A and B are shown apart, each in its own frame.
Chain A
Amino acid sequence: MEFFIQQLVAGLTSGAIYACVALGLVMIFVSTDHINFAQGEMAMFATYLAWAMIDAGVPFWLAFILTIVIAFAGGLFIQRVILKPLEAAPVLSLVVCFIALLSFFNALAGMIWSFTIKQFPSPFPPRDVFGNGLVSIQQIGVVAVTLIMLGILTVFFRYTTLGLAMRAAAQNPASARLMGVRVSWMLALGWGLAAAIGAVAGMLVAPIVFLDPNMMTGILVYGFASALVGGIGNPMGAVAGGFIVGVLENLVGSYVIGNELKLTFALAVVVGVLLLKPAGIFGRVIVRRV
């Protein structure tokens, strides 16, 4: 029973991180219908920036905030400069572009900071909460940061004019444009948000898995699985999907298939959801007229 609870908590912790990655994917998907393959590497790169700042003596939480701001600006920049000219391009060009960004960021991080793994400081002390070895402050912290971020995003989308404009641009670009919303800039904002959320995910996971240029590959795959399980167009669904996939991954990993096939499990989840319920658990089925 104790082992089960430990696995459950560990699952919720990794689930929180998957939820962040999935949330970043959803931000881009709802407004553009694109799946950003570079989401993980963008997050990894932002995490390196945070590491460099902390290494230079900046306090953790200041570096945390600064990294989020820089990541936001970076995401905005990528959309404006690289993806805007390809807005009308075929799917293949976009996929190639995302893969290019993925390779580029991976190589750039390796180039600047080398491919050796680095220790990333954790803001949370590694102590137990209840003193029985079940739940650590680190785990509570990760989940709490995710939930706080989700809260901020919900408030932003529901109660601010800018959030409303972004939702309008995503749901009905033509009408939004007629109402004076600058749709193209709303897409850029979506990219900025996605990059910022990704940065949070990267900084949360780095103390657990250590920092190296390939650290997000597996996590990105789980992020995909989470986003799909929850319904890739639904932010709340993505978060729920993240927790579901995180817990499932840990339970299936420890009781059924072992840790060596975790990525295969993610593959099975991705293909399974796409085949059986492409809209996910919380997603709406989109009927397309021809």
Chain B
Amino acid sequence: MAAITDSWATRGRPGWIVILFWGLLAALPLAGLFTNDPSFDYYMFMGQAMLINAIAILGLNLLIGFNGQISLGHSAFFAVGAYTAAILMNFAGFPYWTTLPIAAVICFGAGFLFGFPALKLEGHYLALATFTLAIAVPQLLKYKLIAPWTGGVGGLILDKPDPPEVLKLSPDQYLYYLCLVVAMLAFWIVRNMLRGRSGRAMMAIRDHAMAAATMGINTARYKTVTFGISAGITGVAGALSGITVAYVAPDSFTLQLAVSFLVGLVVGGIASLPGCIVGGAFIVLIQNSSQSISDWMKVTFSLRYDVPAWAIYGVLLILLMYFMPRGIMGGIETLWLRVTNRKEASS
């Protein structure tokens, strides 16, 4: 994975495509004015899920794509974020929006601490340790000593926040905007970070850790802090998910969640910022349409069985690793650079 730089991340000013894209996302809820579709609120809810997944994948991408540390355990930080929001809202009466920065800080701490053992581990070993973390988390959340706060197996039910009166939005439209604002903020922060000195240091560590150390980069500090920031971003996504779904339970934070982040990351594009959004949208779409995909496949290939989403994920991941190792956005970028004859295309 040597020397991947994200042209979107490192370019000077946000291009018109980026501005147009976010503008379009912001305009989407307005479509509700022109339609009486009863499932419109459900589409808004899907939009929230897509943005939340995009933020979580952004956190993961920062770690895997830009810093070269493999994590299969980001479901754990997502869970910490969600539970932080849930516990603060239910037991301490915090307003929902204040839980987001708190979740970020707590998850940063958790990620930073996990980053220390991760320092000594590389490649497969780090994947192994984080894999174990992902599997241990649901059981840990059910533990009886902390059950008074976590709700044990049953989880916690939250109140869905009401939109302010003046905005005249439905709750789902409002939450969509909340997710959108947080997503824009997260992408803006990450983009700025990657463009600067710290971003170059992260990528230098990914490409050649020893050379980076020789150049005077404190690799240990950068790796632990990157782990922390990555976990913090994913934790905010977790808190948002707790707020929008209004329910947290241990069995939503299994290894499968971590794997779905990985799927989104690989599909969207390793070390690609727009890829995070593509990946986030992709996993929500697949999860929501898995039944119709399954029906379609049953008819087309005359199968006797239902095809679960995970079978599709599995096949897709392997195919992507063969044919498009940098994912959809990675593939598009490579093509674009080749078409416009930039020098990066040859590297």
Residues of A near any B CB (own CB < 8 A): 33-35, 37, 82, 85-86, 89-97, 99-108, 110-112, 217-218, 221, 224-225, 228, 260-264, 266-267, 270-271, 274-275, 278, 290
Contact = CB atoms under 8 A, between A and B. Distances in A.
Contacts of A262: 139
Given A91-B124, A92-B64, A217-B135, A97 B142 contact: no
A260 B1 contact: no
Given A85-B322, A221-B135, A262-B139, A275 B308 contact: no
A112 B305 contact: yes
Nearest to A224: B128
B210 A290 contact: yes
Interface of B: 1, 64, 68, 70, 72, 117, 120-121, 123-125, 127-129, 131-133, 135-136, 139-140, 142-144, 210, 255-256, 259, 262, 266, 270, 305-311, 313-318, 321-322, 325
Given A267-B132, A278-B125, A108 B311 contact: yes
A82 B123 CA distance: 20
Nearest to A25: B128
Contacts of A90: 1
Contact of A103 (B117, B133, B306, B313): B313
10 interchain residue pairs of minimum CB distance: A104-B314, A100-B317, A107-B310, A107-B311, A91-B123, A267-B136, A103-B314, A107-B308, A263-B136, A103-B310
B70 A95 contact: yes
Contacts of A104: 310-311, 313-315, 318
Nearest to A275: B117
B65 to A, nearest CB: 9
Given A37-B127, A224-B131, A260-B144, 10 more contacts: A35-B125, A37-B131, A90-B1, A99-B72, A100-B318, A102-B259, A103-B259, A103-B314, A261-B143, A262-B139
Contacts of B68: 92
Q: Which of A35, A92, A95 has the most CB of B within 10 A?
A: A92
B124 A99 contact: no
A100 B314 contact: yes
B70 A266 contact: no
A229 to B, nearest CB: 13
A107 B322 contact: no
Q: Which of B72, B142, B308 has the most CB of A within 10 A?
A: B308
B72 A95 contact: yes
Contacts, number: 137
Contacts of B308: 107, 110-111
Contacts of B310: 103-104, 106-107, 110
Given A95-B124, A103-B311, A218-B135, A270 B321 contact: no
A89 B1 CA distance: 9
Contacts of A105: 314
Given A103-B314, A263-B139, A91 B144 contact: no
Contact of A111 (B131, B210, B256, B306): B306
Contacts of B321: 86, 89, 93, 96-97, 100
Contact of A264 (B129, B139, B256, B262): B139
B143 A260 contact: yes
A226 B70 CA distance: 22
Given A92-B1, A274-B121, A274-B129, A261 B317 contact: no
Contacts of B129: 270-271, 274
Nearest to B321: A93
Contacts of B1: 90, 92
Contacts of A218: 135
29 contacts: A35-B127, A37-B72, A82-B318, A89-B321, A90-B1, A91-B70, A92-B64, A95-B72, A95-B124, A99-B262, A100-B315, A100-B321, A104-B310, A104-B311, A104-B313, A221-B132, A228-B128, A261-B139, A261-B140, A261-B143, A264-B139, A266-B132, A267-B136, A271-B129, A274-B121, A274-B128, A274-B129, A275-B117, A278-B125
